[in-house]
Amino acid sequence: MVGQGTSAYTVSSIIDRLLQQILTPPDSQPAQVQLLESIGATDTLVKVGSFTVPEDENLLRQGSLLESGQELMRVVAYDSQPKEVIVTRGEYGTVPAQHTAPSLLTMNPVYTRAAIFESVADNLITLYPKLFTTSSELLSSVTDGVFPIGDDLAVEVLSVKPGDFVTDIDIHGEIVDFHPMTGGRSLVLNPHPGHGGRNSLATGQMVSNSAAFGTVWLRYRRRMAKAQWETDLLDDLGVDERWARIVMFGAAADLFAGRDVPASQTEWVKSVLEAQNIRVGSRMSIAGGLYQLRNMLLADAEKEMKTEYKTRVMMMPTFNQVP
């Protein structure tokens, strides 16, 4: 998580931030109980500790849900004397996992962590093509004009420069998802026959421009990858950390859409939106206000990108002609 002593955003840090800032009002904390003994992925007996609020114990009844991490467990029976819960594991398609004491179990969560994860993951990949990151890579050819690319997120060529040879012509290419000569994502160059030759820096010999062997420097746009784990770094997913709030508000809007949001939470989220000068009234729902805020942040990020990646114009010197 991003906080004191940390420096990188993960998917988990966005989920935690969503829960703290939007999904969980200060006066509406979920009921939780401590896991007394660690359990494995196949255990169905769960021992819990004491309840901070005695009334919360009444929530632990047959059919209720317990959440630990992204896993949901359904209560089959509860014995209050030894505080033992019999559960079924991996409810609603979640994956049974090992859980270590003394972590907290959330009872009947309004927004499950698994649902929040999927919403965040969806909002990450939909940032492209409006937003993108760039990278550069030195590529080596496997055959004439075909260069394998190690980055699966590479989608669009920005520029291609010669690596171990010299040429006086522009190099143009296209990124393809699959090429049979490489077995994967590749850069395919369009050679320019009939434009003389180039000197190989390795051999010093003249090589025809109709061939494209050796190495090239590729600068390219990157799309966003689908998050697989909460520990995934935003940078590894092709996402600039400056866009964390765009993802957060978009995910919150998706989670609120079509829901009957409790009054206490409505007022809490309205205060968050009003701090951004977005008024939520009878004509705009909470989800609509969050979408508006997300789109405002997205538009600002697009403007910033256009400034950062704008085409640079080279001014050519002029010479006075002497009659």
CA nearest neighbour of 132 among 50, 237, 39: 237
286 occurs within a structural domain = yes
319 occurs within a structural domain = no
pLDDT at 202: 45
pLDDT at 41: 96
- Is there a single domain that holds both residue 115 and residue 159? no
318 occurs within a structural domain = no
Phi, psi of 310 (to 5 degrees): -65, 150
273 occurs within a structural domain = yes
- Is there a single domain that holds both residue 257 and residue 118? yes
Which of 222, 252, 282 lies at the terminal end of a domain, its last residue? 222
> What is the percent of the chain with per-residue pLDDT over 90, rounded to a whole number?
63
- Is there a single domain that holds both residue 119 and residue 265? yes
Whichever domain contains 42, its CATH number is: 2.40.30
pLDDT at 168: 60
pLDDT at 165: 67
pLDDT at 310: 66
- Is there a single domain that holds both residue 26 and residue 123? yes
pTM for this one? Answer: 0.82
322 occurs within a structural domain = no
Ramachandran region, residue 83 (left: φ > 0; alpha: ψ -120 to 50; beta: rest): left
Burial 68-105 (b: 16+ CB within 10 A, else e): bbbbbbbbeebeeeebebebebebeebebeebeeeeeb
317 occurs within a structural domain = no
Which of 189, 222, 255 lies at the terminal end of a domain, its last residue? 222
Which residues does 137 contact at the CB level (< 8 Å), separation at least 6?
A: 149, 150, 151, 154, 217, 218, 220
- Is there a single domain that holds both residue 144 and residue 122? no
- Is there a single domain that holds both residue 83 and residue 159? no
Interval 260-286: pLDDT, tens: 777 778 888 988 898 888 888 766 788
- Is there a single domain that holds both residue 216 and residue 231? no
Which residue is associated with the tokens 């997205």?
A: 298
The total of structural domains in the chain comes to: 3
- Is there a single domain that holds both residue 71 and residue 199? no
Burial 230-244 (b: 16+ CB within 10 A, else e): bebebeebbbbeebb
pLDDT at 163: 84
177 occurs within a structural domain = yes
- Is there a single domain that holds both residue 15 and residue 120? yes
Map the chain to HEC letters: CCCCCCCCCEHHHHHHHHHHHHHCCCCCCCCEEEECCCECCCCCEEEECCCCCHHHHHHCCCCCEEEECCEEEEEEEEECCCCEEEEECCHHHCCCCCECCCCEEEECCCCCHHHHHHHHHHHHHCCCCCCCEEEEEEEECCECCEEECCCCCEEEEEEEEECCEECCCCCCEEEEEEECCCCEEEEEECCCCCCCEEEECCCCCEEECCCCCCEEEEEEEECCCCCCCCCCECCCCCCCHHHHHHHHHHHHHHHHCCCCCCHHHHHHHHHHHHCCCCCCCCCCCHHHHHHHHHHHHHHHHHHHHHHHCCCCCCCCCCCCCCC
One pLDDT digit (tens) per residue for the chain, 323 residues: 556 666 789 999 999 999 999 998 887 888 999 999 999 999 999 999 988 888 899 999 999 999 999 999 999 999 998 999 999 999 999 999 999 999 999 999 989 999 999 999 999 999 999 999 999 999 999 988 899 999 999 999 999 988 876 666 678 899 999 999 999 999 998 755 444 444 444 444 444 444 567 899 999 999 999 999 999 999 999 999 999 999 999 999 999 987 777 777 888 898 889 888 888 876 678 899 999 999 999 999 999 988 877 654 444 444 444 44
> What is the Cα–Cα distance from 173 to 181, expressed in whole angstroms?
16
- Is there a single domain that holds both residue 99 and residue 217? no
- Is there a single domain that holds both residue 190 and residue 201? yes
- Is there a single domain that holds both residue 180 and residue 293? no
- Angle CA(159)–CA(185)–CA(125) in degrees, nearest 5? 85
21 occurs within a structural domain = yes
CA nearest neighbour of 53 among 39, 81, 72, 34: 34
- Per the structure, the complete domain to which residue 241 belongs is given by 1-30+111-130+227-309
